[in-house]
Amino acid sequence: MEPFVIAFALVVLAWMLVVGDLVRRHRPAWHWHLVGYPVIACRVLFTWRRVTMLNDLAVSRLPARTLIGHLMVKGDPVRPVPPHISFPRPTPFGLTATVRLHAGQTPATYLKAADAMVHAWKVHAVRVTSPERGLMLLTALAHDPLQRPGLATAPAELLSAPIGALETGGAWVMNLRRVPHWLIAGATRSGKSTLLTRLITQLAPQPVALIGIDCKGGMELGLFADRLSALATCRREAVAVLSALVVDMQERMSACRSAGARSIWELPAKVRPVPVVVIVDEIAELYLSDGTRESRAEAEQCSTLLLRLAQLGAALGMHLVVAGQRVGSDLGPGVTALRAQLSGRICHRVNDSGTAEMTLGDLNKEAVAVAQQITAEEGGVAVCTGPDGGFSRARSHLTPTKEAVSTARKYSAMTPELPLVTRALAALEGDTK
Q: Is 374 helix (H, G, I), strand (E, B) or coil?
A: coil
Residue 77: what pLDDT? Answer: 53
In-domain check, residue 20:
no
Could you tell me the pTM of the whole model? 0.81
Same domain, 186 and 129: no
Same domain, 237 and 322: yes
- The domain that holds 70 is classified in CATH as 3.30.980
Same domain, 52 and 124: yes
pLDDT digits (tens, 9 = 90+) for 111-130: 889 889 999 999 988 888 88
Is 305's pLDDT higher than 50? yes
Q: Is 266 helix (H, G, I), strand (E, B) or coil?
A: helix
In this structure, are residues 259 and 235 in contact, taking their beta carbons and an 8 Å threshold?
Answer: no
Residue 352: what pLDDT? Answer: 84
Measured over all CA atoms, what is the biggest interatomic distance in the chain, rounded to whole angstroms? 100
Same domain, 237 and 359: yes
Confidence of residue 243 (pLDDT cuts 50, 70, 90): very high
| Mean pLDDT (whole number) for 218-236 | 91
In-domain check, residue 217:
yes
In-domain check, residue 118:
yes
Domain limits for position 38: 25-141
pLDDT digits (tens, 9 = 90+) for 158-168: 999 999 888 87
| Mean pLDDT (whole number) for 62-69 | 55
| Cα distance between residue 308 and residue 41, in whole Å | 53
81, 114, 141 - which closes a domain: 141
| Cα distance between residue 287 and residue 290, in whole Å | 10
Instruction: Give the type of residue at 342.
Output: L
Confidence of residue 76 (pLDDT cuts 50, 70, 90): low
- Range 126-158 burial, b when 16+ CB lie within 10 A, else e: bbbeeeeeeebbbbbbbebbbeebeebeeeeee
| Cα distance between residue 68 and residue 59, in whole Å | 22
Instruction: Give the type of residue at 421.
Output: V
| Mean pLDDT (whole number) for 191-211 | 93
Counting the structural domains of the chain, the total is 2
In this structure, are residues 140 and 129 in contact, taking their beta carbons and an 8 Å threshold?
Answer: no
Q: Is 191 helix (H, G, I), strand (E, B) or coil?
A: coil
Residue 275: what pLDDT? Answer: 95
91, 113, 141 - which closes a domain: 141
Same domain, 133 and 177: no
Is 181's pLDDT higher than 90? yes
In this structure, are residues 7 and 117 in contact, taking their beta carbons and an 8 Å threshold?
Answer: no
In-domain check, residue 4:
no
Residue 341: what pLDDT? Answer: 92
Same domain, 61 and 167: no
Same domain, 50 and 132: yes
In-domain check, residue 126:
yes
| Cα distance between residue 230 and residue 235, in whole Å | 14
pLDDT digits (tens, 9 = 90+) for 373-425: 888 888 889 999 876 667 888 999 988 989 999 999 999 999 999 999 999 98
In this structure, are residues 213 and 232 in contact, taking their beta carbons and an 8 Å threshold?
Answer: yes
Same domain, 122 and 181: no
In-domain check, residue 339:
yes
- Write down how long the chain is: 433
| Cα distance between residue 430 and residue 433, in whole Å | 5
- The domain that holds 363 is classified in CATH as 3.40.50.300
Is 254's pLDDT higher than 90? yes
Is 145's pLDDT higher than 80? no
Same domain, 221 and 296: yes
Same domain, 272 and 332: yes
Residue 225: what pLDDT? Answer: 92
113, 141, 169 - which closes a domain: 141
Same domain, 84 and 185: no
Question: 382 CB contacts (<8 Å, ≥6 apart)?
Answer: 186, 190, 191, 195, 346, 347, 348, 371, 374, 393, 394, 395, 396
In-domain check, residue 58:
yes
In-domain check, residue 16:
no
Confidence of residue 280 (pLDDT cuts 50, 70, 90): very high
Same domain, 136 and 226: no
- Positive or negative, the CA dihedral 401, 406, 411, 412 is positive
Residue 188: what pLDDT? Answer: 87
In this structure, are residues 141 and 124 in contact, taking their beta carbons and an 8 Å threshold?
Answer: yes
pLDDT digits (tens, 9 = 90+) for 322-349: 999 888 777 777 888 898 899 999 999 9
Residue 103: what pLDDT? Answer: 85
Is 46's pLDDT higher than 60? yes
Phi, psi of 89, deg, nearest 5? -110, 135
Q: Is 74 helix (H, G, I), strand (E, B) or coil?
A: strand
CA atoms within 13 A on the CB side of 346: 32
Cβ-based burial of 106 (10 A; exposed 0-12, middle 13-18, buried ≥19): exposed
